[in-house]
Structure 1
Amino acid sequence: MADCKFLENAIQIIKRARDEDEGGNYSEAYKSYILALDYFMMALKYEKNDKRKAIIRAKTAEYLERAETVKSYLGNPELKKKVVAGNGGSAEKPSEDSNSKMKIALENTILQECPNVRWDDVIGLLSAKEALKEAVILPIKFPHLFVGNRQPWHGILLYGPPGTGKSFLAKAVATEASAKFFSISSSDLLSKWLGESEKLVRQLFALGQELKPSIIFIDEIDSLCSVRNDSESESTRRVKTEFLIRMNGVGNDLDGILVLAATNVPWLLDSAIRRRFEKRIYIGLPDESTRSKMFQMHLGDTPNSLSQADYKELASFTEGYSGSDIAVVVREALMRPIRMVQSATHFKNVVAPDRRNPAIQKTYWEPCSPGDPEGVPMSWMDIEGDALLEPLVTISHLFKALKSTKPTINSEDLNRYTQFTAEFGQDG
């Protein structure tokens, strides 16, 4: 449980903030809201129970929104007449052109530039890629295959540990699909105006239908559609209800629309939301073969001395590492030759191909040990920029980086994903 004092203090201060808020004393209300939010964050930090954390997180978001609203009143006294204290937003009706403004805001979430990530750039995840091709590429290229009872998937949920490639897969979909791609976060669908968040959700699906074929990608969907409970605000509940209605195809036709979502905590999703995603694909940790390819990919064309046997050895030592963990290991290893240059006290001349014209040999300075007979006492500051030859990245650099970079996923987390997949999902 959270430190009771943090939570108790937060609740007491919130009561004071609401009293000041209702009394129109917005300056004191704002100060109290901010102080209470600090206590809520401390309570959230020490809370271990997921359900209680979800409740605290929801309350934190609600009061943060209210604090921002109250702050806006401090600089404009006329707005005080439009306040409905404690409801988390103003009762003032949006302007007549609010629908067009919402449409413009949502159009800004459409990716205008291709992320340039191809299927081949996504290492592994064969089942996930095939499911996405089946849901996105085939219906667009061969629409005559999907008639009658054979319909493409309208909802796909990608879930798994952080750093396993869920968002990267979405970029590949955006690149490969000839469809409008909406990249949505919870902030794009939440508004301080009462009732406008639901309209944003409706407008999103209406715009998706207007521009179909379209893909609506919602990253971290758990922040928008967590389990419903009695403690959440009424505005949050209405947004979830509207999203459920649109995902079910009520009031609009989902033909030509794919809702693609990603989450690291699928067990926090509301069961009704979970049901709307017909395909729930587990994006797990990479296997040994995939890890070997990841090391090669991240090293790229950086000068190195690694062989295929070295890559396999590294893969065998990185069981439990995610794709992003491996990327961090390689980045750390790539910096080690630079540190060798910084700390070197002796350099020697070596002959190597010219950087601009490899057909020509050129003399460079390379760091060496003080005991090297060809070494010259000097520092990197004494060398002209183009005259320095960077040391090769070696297998030892990578193993040293492994010692200082631990995996971010533990066995307890993996067990939760395994349990969720057994109950609701499928392996990717």
Structure 2
Amino acid sequence: MIFIVRTAQKVNTKVNRDLSKNSVESTADFLFLEPAGYPMASVLEEYPIIENPGVFEHYAREQWNGMIARKGEYLFDRRMYPDFAYRINEVEPPESVIGFKTRIIVKEITVSSAPTVEFTSDVSFDDVVGQEGARRKCKLIERFLQEPGMFGRWAPRNVLFFGPSGTGKTMFAKALANKTHVPILPVKATELIGEFVGEGARQIHQLYERAQEMAPCIIFIDELDAIALDRRYQELRGDVAEIVNALLTEMDGIVERSGVCTIGATNRNDTIDSAVRSRFEEEIEFTLPDEKERLKILESNIKTFPLPVEDVDLREIAKMTEGLSGRDLVSKVLKTALHNVIVEDRDYVNQGDLLDSVKKLKGVQKISDPERLYI
């Protein structure tokens, strides 16, 4: 704290020298400021929220009195929240001195509301082909959401879904919500990374508070590795570290949130930070479909084509598409074939169309560099 005060004194001394050097005489009529956050990661989860603009304006004028204000530069709080920065968006007149009559306005911060989007699902387990192992393990979550009181401290509060992209992790979470008639709060981990330090941590706590109000409830965090990647694989920004700490606090159950189940999803479970991974009591694996399952996926989806299908051998297509996920089969094989037929203004889809889309997809996969798949 002593270091911070001395730093502030040095800043004031330099400003005063600049003031005399430049002979700036005009007093600023108004300043329009925008909160910019801390220059480095803060131990504080929150940055200051201005509840009374009039009181803040008096406080700001008193501490910055005599300093030169220039558009694009920063003013630092040196008392209540040391080192917190405000960017000068507008100053009138330009390059003027802050005085006791200067009007100071701070832009209101809008915190993203993405994590609090609530919805119910109409997806059922019948919509997902295969995944028998995951289906069996999910019965535990079903029972918990239906009777959260019976589990006590043995509740499966944190569950990790992992497996290749497109294998049904998101669909299973929606199916769980549908079958148990509970709301689901979905959020992509990347949406939690905010512009300001502390914003993501605040969103995490708000997300869990909202879930508690609606309990029993599912919180589904997709792309978990975006914030919980092992430190060996990334340099953590301050805000990401605080998001992870906030998430760990909620997952540890320090604040009792009965009936709330957190489901995290990732296709890179081996790179999840060990501190985060250890909080998941259950890990449920999602696998790529085998030949029989691929055939079933092709048959069920091709029935919904808006054009007739003639002379197709889906068994052949199923054999050729080993290693593809269900989403790949639908969006990159069936959809590609259908779109090509529509573009060519033809009346029906045939085997050649499906073979062409498979060959095209395999050609793209063959030239892809495996080392760049997750970049």
TM-score (norm 1): 0.57
Distance, in Å, in 2 between the alignment partners of 1:247 and 1:102 is: 26
Counterpart for residue 113 of structure 2:
105
1:406 aligns with 2:362: yes
Counterpart for residue 423 of structure 1:
none
Deviation string 1:315-364 (CA, Å, 9 cap, x unpaired) is 111111121221111112213433553xxxxxxxxxxxxxxxxxxxxxxx
Counterpart for residue 268 of structure 2:
265
The verdict on how the C-alpha distance between 1:336 and 1:215 changes in structure 2, with shifts beyond 3 A counting, is: same
Distance, in Å, in 2 between the alignment partners of 1:78 and 1:190 is: 26
Could you tell me which runs of 5 or more consecutive residues in structure 2 were left unpaired when the two chains were aligned. 1-13, 16-29, 53-108
1:224 aligns with 2:232: no
The AA in structure 1 aligned to 2:179 is: E
Distance, in Å, in 2 between the alignment partners of 1:306 and 1:128 is: 35
Could you tell me which runs of 5 or more consecutive residues in structure 1 were left unpaired when the two chains were aligned. 1-22, 25-75, 342-389, 417-428
The AA in structure 1 aligned to 2:113 is: A
Counterpart for residue 200 of structure 1:
203
1:126 aligns with 2:132: yes
Distance, in Å, in 2 between the alignment partners of 1:92 and 1:103 is: 12
Q: Which structure has greater helix proportion?
A: 1
Question: How far 1:292 sits from its partner (Å)?
Answer: 0.1
Deviation string 1:209-237 (CA, Å, 9 cap, x unpaired) is 22210100001011121223694233322
Secondary structure of 1:140's aligned partner? helix
Distance, in Å, in 2 between the alignment partners of 1:408 and 1:264 is: 21
Map 1:167-206 to 2 at 5 A. 167-206=170-209
Counterpart for residue 332 of structure 1:
336
Q: Which has the higher contact order (CA 8 A, sep 6+)?
A: 2
Counterpart for residue 7 of structure 2:
none
The AA in structure 1 aligned to 2:253 is: G
Question: How far 1:139 sits from its partner (Å)?
Answer: 2.6
Question: How far 1:262 sits from its partner (Å)?
Answer: 1.0
Counterpart for residue 296 of structure 2:
293
User: What fraction of aligned residue pairs are identical, expressed as a percent?
Assistant: 28
Map 1:256-405 to 2 at 5 A. 256-302=259-305, 303-306=308-311, 310-327=313-330, 328-341=332-345, 391-405=347-361
Counterpart for residue 117 of structure 1:
123
TM-score (norm 2): 0.65
Counterpart for residue 22 of structure 2:
none
The verdict on how the C-alpha distance between 1:279 and 1:92 changes in structure 2, with shifts beyond 3 A counting, is: closer
Counterpart for residue 78 of structure 1:
32
Distance, in Å, in 2 between the alignment partners of 1:298 and 1:208 is: 35
Distance, in Å, in 2 between the alignment partners of 1:83 and 1:335 is: 47
Deviation string 1:274-312 (CA, Å, 9 cap, x unpaired) is 1111221221211111100111122123311256xx222
1:242 aligns with 2:246: yes
Question: How far 1:129 sits from its partner (Å)?
Answer: 2.2
* Structural RMSD (CA): 3.6
CA contact (8 A) 1:321 1:409 kept: no
CA contact (8 A) 2:205 2:246 kept: yes
CA contact (8 A) 1:325 1:407 kept: no
CA contact (8 A) 2:190 2:223 kept: no
The AA in structure 1 aligned to 2:336 is: E
